[in-house]
Structure formats: structure tokens, C-alpha cells
Amino acid sequence: MRAIRTLLISAMTALSLALAAVSAPLQAAETPIHFADLNWESGSLITGILRHIVEKGYGLPTDMLPGTTITLETALSRNDIQVIGEEWAGRSPVWVKAEAEGKVFSLGDTVKGATEGWWVPEYVIKGDPARGIKALAPELRSVSDLSRYKDVFKDPEAPSKGRFLNSPIGWTSEIVNGQKLKAYGLNDSYVNFRSGSGAALDAEISSSIQRGKPVLFYYWSPTPLLGKHKLIQLEEPPFDAKAWATLTDPANPDPQPTRSLPSKLSIGVSAPFKQQYPQITAFFSKVEIPIEPLNKALAQMSEKHQDPRQASEDFLKAHPDIWQPWLTQDIAAKVSASLK
């Protein structure tokens, strides 16, 4: 009887292990890869492109989780999300710390030629005779010149100050721009106006330009806005790493002026993701999107009010020459088949 009992226990143990071995990959396949839900055009389009390839090429489910830049970077370091489709790597202290600890990785150099800074419409400096607009700040060249022109960019809610349109609340650049206002001695003469979203910032800028009004704002590329309008980026001192550290720290009482860290756009992934999905990691490392077709796709997405998933499919259909080299032949064939 004891021998039979031992055999039964051994058989049940073996069966349990076999079931676990079968069910484990099924469970893993049912668990979606969490992408960051980025609330700016290029971020949402690139995320859509990556998700489509992961889903249709590699057969893995995905979803998106919302948050601000900083909260998403924190979530990535904890593996609460696994992918940030457009990561401006090295900008926030959260990212720098997590990267140094080996918790996150930046893969590839996804968009070359990206930039960011403070901009004004060209007509503010040069005028636009065709629209009957006179130059209001003909000697404006640099950010440090703005102290002379606060009345040009008058804030409607605080007329004694100018208005600077900052990034939405929660973006890393919002902190940097707030510190830059102090560093350039503009904190007392300009209102640090922060939008609730990238769409709200776009609407404020576009409305001002359509009406021919002066507007001062932070912006970046790749974006449709820079392709639609004639804009001038204001000059800043050359990049200085020590000064940059004072701008990324909101608690620093004495921020120093410098242009922003040279832009490098990558795909951010968590350490567990990198280890679990080496094939997708290899694919992410090869992603490179030329800025001209990207800006055109962004402009089309904006003009047609397209959903990012639909815009990403249109991009994949239109540019197989761009994305197929990222993939092995069998994966590329699966993605191509999904687009027909």
C-alpha cells in the first residue's frame, strides 16, 4: 500500500509539473506587453508602429498605460510598463538614476535630427507684409533678449508680464523650462504658463499663428507644427553639462543658462523586458525613422484627425523600405500580410 501511495504521489507530481510547463508559456502569451501611452504626436505614432509590429509580427498582445513622462519612467524602472516608444534618454534624473542602476535601457537612435527649444513665429521678428503684420521684435535673437519684449508677448491674465507657453505639466521639459526662466532672469517678467496636454499646447500656438498674434513657446521636433509654419528658434548658450544638471533639478535654487542636452530619441525598455524578449530587443535596436517622412506622416495624422493606430498602419503601408530592414524576413512577411 505504501508503495502504491508513493507511486501515486510521484505520478501526481509529474502531472503537475507537466501542466505547469504547458500552461506557463500560455500564461506568458496572455500577459500583454505594456507600452507607455504618450500624449504627443510623434510619441503616439511611433508607439503605434512598434505595437503593430509586435502584435502582428511576433504574435504578442500589447496595451497602453497612461501617465506623465516622469511617472512613466518610474513605472518602466519598476517593470510596471515595459516599453516607452519615444524616450528622450538622459534628460530626467529619474531616467539617469534608473539607467545607472541597470533597471532601464535605451535602444537605438530612432529619429536623427530631433531638436527642442524656445520658438517664435517668423513674423514676430521679420513681419509679414502679405498679412499686414509688422515686426514687433526686430532685434530679438536670443532667449536672453526676451526681457526687452515682455510687452510683445503680453499675458492676457497678467498684463504686466509676458506669457511663455511651457510644456504640459508632468513632462521633463516642463521642469527644465521653469528652471530656464530663472536662469535667464525672466521669472519675474514672464508667466510660466503650462498646458494640460500636448494637444492643448498645439491649439494655443496654432490659434495665435492663425490670428497673426505674437506667441512665445517651447517646442520640439519631430512634429507637424514645425513643418506647417515659419518659426524661428531663439539662440541659447552652448550646451554645458554642469549647467544642464541645474536645469533638470527643480529644487536647485541657482539654475544656470544652457541650451538643452543634444536630442537623442530612443526606445526605452525595462531590464526584465530586455532579458525576456531578446528578439524584440534586437528589432528595437535597429529602429531608425528618417525625419522627413515622419514629419509628413505626423502632418497627415494631424490634418485628418487620425487615430494613431490607423496612422501607424498607413505609415507601415507607405514605407516598407524603412521598417523591413529592422526585422528578420519571416517577421517582416507576417507584418506585410497584416497590412493587406
The verdict on pTM exceeding 0.85 is no
Mean pLDDT of 13-32: 46
Q: Are 31-114+263-338 and 115-248 in the same CATH fold?
A: yes
Q: Among the listed ranges 18-22, 192-196, 283-287, which one has the minimum average pLDDT value?
A: 18-22
8 Cβ contact partners less than 8 Å away, ≥ 6 residues apart: none
Residue 5 has pLDDT above 60, yes or no: no
Q: In this predicted structure, what is the pLDDT of residue 141?
A: 96
The CATH number of 115-248, from 3.40.190.100, 3.80.10.10, 3.10.440.10, 3.90.1150.10, is 3.40.190.100
Q: In this predicted structure, what is the pLDDT of residue 63?
A: 96
> Apex CA 121: angle with CA 119 and CA 127, to 5°?
140
Q: Kindly report the CATH number that applies to the domain delimited by 31-114+263-338.
A: 3.40.190.10
CB 47 within 8 A of CB 34: no
Q: In this predicted structure, what is the pLDDT of residue 221?
A: 82
Q: In this predicted structure, what is the pLDDT of residue 50?
A: 98
| pLDDT tens-digit series, residues 99-127 | 999 999 999 999 987 889 999 999 999 99
Domains in the chain: boundaries: 31-114+263-338, 115-248
Mean pLDDT of 244-259: 95
